[in-house]
């Protein structure tokens, strides 16, 4: 198969039951000599902040001289962006070759009783492990869970650490209706004696995490308990039983980014025995260069984009607006997919200024007629940007909502408005 044929074949794969997902993945991986165990890994789970925290650790590791592989999902612009080695996406040729080589095994698996057909995402995960074991082997692989943890296709690792920046109410149809239920899914990726780092203080979530850690004799590092942040004129400091790093700075806005950075710093300290060139200086340097596009990103002095795609991330966004932009005339454009609590998200945003709604090119996008009343409807984000006074320092134009939406907006702005 060439790349286009591979994409078409993958998209034709049936949806699979989550219940047997890990069993299907293990069936394949065992026949491939377990490529997922051939590279040291750190596993990231949680509702929000996984990408930012992973990116911060990636930057620290690269500043320390190590090669880094990365798996994140879903893809937004290019399907290949899920699998990245040293900031370069997997090539179309390698991706097609790996999946073509997997095809006979997948056909055998499809005929295996009780396992159901393997899904597109599960095949991509297996292809990712093969790529990093046999095509571009990094010093370390950073893996973001797809959804949850317990039944997620990435729940086949023996990680050096598990990192969870947050637990929020998202994907409830699959993960449960409460924070505790969702926490059970996320922390199921933990292994015996593997450190667990997290940044939530919700009592019901902490109870779930600590109970699982006790079962596995895993040390835990919680922000606000073992991991402490202190602000100073020279930036901020992170202290833990593993040491103290001062004069830290992050490019990304928001207090939560300092929390994510603290998790990355402590994870780097934890894995230092395996990666000894990590130092306080490489940690500082790495953090100062880390950026995760589309997260509270000030593209121009008065134009911000933020992929606030659920209630929790909207709350983080509105906290930043209150702290840093209360003196601005804020104009907001919002678009979301139809599985999100749109009414609640819009209600939070409308406290900070007039909110317009729009739609975008995705079959899941909320259509204009389906938004609640009381919000101006705009046909396209391009139309909204045309009347924006992007040279007015008294205004802040904010475009937020779905990550898919935000990524298209960002690409347009960088190409057309600069």
Residue 268 has pLDDT above 70, yes or no: yes
Residue 126's Cβ-side half-sphere holds a number of Cα atoms within 13 Å equal to 30
Q: How far apart are CA 257 and CA 255, in angstroms?
A: 5
50 or 58: which leads in pLDDT = 58
Q: Domain ranges for the chain, please list them.
A: 3-289, 297-416
For residues 147 and 222, the model is more confident at 222
pLDDT at 260 over 50: yes
């990590």: which residue's tokens?
A: 278
Q: What is the pLDDT of residue 199?
A: 93
Give the pLDDT of residue 66: 99
The whole-number pLDDT of residue 56 equals 95
Q: Which residues contact 109 (CB under 8 A, 6 or more apart)?
A: 24, 27, 28, 115, 117, 118
pLDDT at 170: 55
pTM for this model (two decimals):
0.86
At residue 135, the pLDDT reads 98
Q: Are 378 and 356 in contact (CB under 8 A)?
A: yes
The pair of three-digit structure tokens given for residue 78, joined into one six-digit string: 């290019």
pLDDT higher than threshold 90 for residue 152: no
For residues 269-298, give the mean pLDDT. Answer: 93
C-alpha distances (whole Å) from 375 to each of 201, 356, 388, 404 are 35, 6, 17, 21
Nearest Cα to Cα of residue 251 among 278, 200, 280, 285:
285
Over residues 177-223, the pLDDT tens digits come to: 588 888 888 898 999 999 999 998 889 999 999 999 999 999 999 99
Mean pLDDT for the stretch of residues 283-299: 89
Instruction: Give the DSSP H/E element, type plus range, for residue 237.
Output: strand 235-240
Q: Which fold has domain 3-289?
A: 3.40.1190
pLDDT bucket at 173, cuts 50 / 70 / 90: very low
**Average pLDDT value over all residues in the chain:** 91
Centroid of chain to Cα 236? 24
Of 307, 279, 282, the C-alpha closest to 59 is: 282
Query: Average of pLDDT values for 108-116?
Result: 82
What mean pLDDT comes out for the span 129-140?
Answer: 98
Q: Measured between alpha carbons, how far is 212 from 220 in angstroms, rounded to an integer?
A: 10
| Residue 332 phi, psi dihedral angles, 5° rounding | -125, 135
The pLDDT-based confidence of 399 (bands split at 50, 70, 90) is very high
Query: Can you point out the beta strands (E) in 241-289?
Result: 243-248
Residue 174: pLDDT over 60: no
Long-range contacts of 410-416 (CB under 8 A, 24+ apart): 410/293, 410/294, 410/297, 410/299, 410/305, 411/77, 412/381, 412/382, 413/299, 413/300, 413/303, 413/305, 413/385, 414/299
**DSSP 8-class letter at 368:** G
Fill in the DSSP letter of residue 227. Answer: B
Same CATH topology for 3-289 and 297-416: the answer is no
pLDDT of residue 280: 98
Q: What percent of the chain has pLDDT over 90?
A: 69
Q: Over range 260-284, report the average pLDDT.
A: 97
Confidence of residue 148 (pLDDT cuts 50, 70, 90): low
| Whole-number pLDDT of residue 295 | 82
Q: What is the pLDDT of residue 147?
A: 73
Q: Is the pLDDT of residue 149 over 80?
A: no
Q: Does the domain at residues 297-416 carry the CATH identifier 2.30.30.90?
A: no
**pLDDT on residue 246:** 94
């Amino acid at each position: 198969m060439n790349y286009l044929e591979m994409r078409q074949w993958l998209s034709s794969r049936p949806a699979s039951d989550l219940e047997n997902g890990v069993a299907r993945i293990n069936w394949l991986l065992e026949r491939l000599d377990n490529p997922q165990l051939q590279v040291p890994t750190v596993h990231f789970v949680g509702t929000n902040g996984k990408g930012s925290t992973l990116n911060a650790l990636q930057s620290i590791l690269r500043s320390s001289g190590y090669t880094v592989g990365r798996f994140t999902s879903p893809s937004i612009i290019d399907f290949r962006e899920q699998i990245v080695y040293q900031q370069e996406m997997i090539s179309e040729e390698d991706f097609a070759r790996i999946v073509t080589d997997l095809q006979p095994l997948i056909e055998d698996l499809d005929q295996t009783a009780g396992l159901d057909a393997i899904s597109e995402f599960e095949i991509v995960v297996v292809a990712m492990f093969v790529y990093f074991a046999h095509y571009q082997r990094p010093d370390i692989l950073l893996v973001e869970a797809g959804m949850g943890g317990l039944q997620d296709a990435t729940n086949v690792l023996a990680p050096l650490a598990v990192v969870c920046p947050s637990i929020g109410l998202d994907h409830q149809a699959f993960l449960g209706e409460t924070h505790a239920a969702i926490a059970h899914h996320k922390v199921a990726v933990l292994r015996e004696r593997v450190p667990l780092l997290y940044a939530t203080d919700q009592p019901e979530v902490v109870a779930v995490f600590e109970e699982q850690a006790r079962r596995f004799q895993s040390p835990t590092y919680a922000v606000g308990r073992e991991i402490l942040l202190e602000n100073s004129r020279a930036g901020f400091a992170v202290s833990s039983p593993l040491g103290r790093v001062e004069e830290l700075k992050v490019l990304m806005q928001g207090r939560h980014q300092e929390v994510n950075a603290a998790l990355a710093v402590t994870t780097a300290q934890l894995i230092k025995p395996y990666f000894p060139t990590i130092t306080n200086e490489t940690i500082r340097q790495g953090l100062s260069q880390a950026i995760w596009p589309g997260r509270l990103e000030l593209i121009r002095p008065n134009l911000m984009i933020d992929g606030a795609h659920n209630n929790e991330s909207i709350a983080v966004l509105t906290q930043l607006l209150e702290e840093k932009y209360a003196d601005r005339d804020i104009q907001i454009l919002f678009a979301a997919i139809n599985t999100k609590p749109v009414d609640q998200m819009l209600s939070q945003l409308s406290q900070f200024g007039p909110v317009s709604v729009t739609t975008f090119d995705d079959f899941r996008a909320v259509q204009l007629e389906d938004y609640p009343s009381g919000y101006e409807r705009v046909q396209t984000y391009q139309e909204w940007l045309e009347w924006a006074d992007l040279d007015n320092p008294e205004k802040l134009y904010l475009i937020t909502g779905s990550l898919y939406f935000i990524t298209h907006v960002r690409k347009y702005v960088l190409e057309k408005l600069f």
